[in-house]
Amino acid sequence: MEYQITDRLSFKRFLDLKSSDRIPDSKTIWTLRETLIQEEVIEALFYRFNQALDDQSIFVKTGLIVDTSFVEVPKQHYSRGEYRQNKQDLHNMMRCDNVFKERCLLAIKKSLSTEPYG
């Protein structure tokens, strides 16, 4: 919150802060929030705040902020031989997975088919 207040003039105007005013740090903001919660006034405060927005026909929509970033990665250039080897390695790994799954299924079926006290 401290960063947003410092970074955005709209936040400063909303909080009625002048450029010469000190910006509250995150600990101060957190302490104020916790005090409002302990005094059980935070809900009433937000109700009045939302009422003031409604009176001015400002309707708040809740949503989700998604932050994305693009990272450049080096392109991998495989020779045909490396490509074939990687493809074969992947095929072999998948085959091993399938053999393992089949063995597990057989073991499970076998343990389910035997009588526990037999």
Give per-residue burial for 64-74: e unless 16+ CB within 10 Å, then b: eeeeeeeeeee
Q: Give the tens place of pLDDT for each residue, 56-109.
A: 888 777 766 677 777 777 776 767 777 777 777 777 666 666 666 666 566 656
Residues 6+ apart with CB under 8 A from 29: 1, 2
State pTM to two decimals: 0.42
Please state the domain extents for the chain. 2-55, 80-118
DSSP track, 62-89: ------------PPP---HHHHHHHHHH
Say if residues 100 and 92 touch (Cβ distance below 8 Å): no
- Rg of the chain on CA atoms, in Å: 31
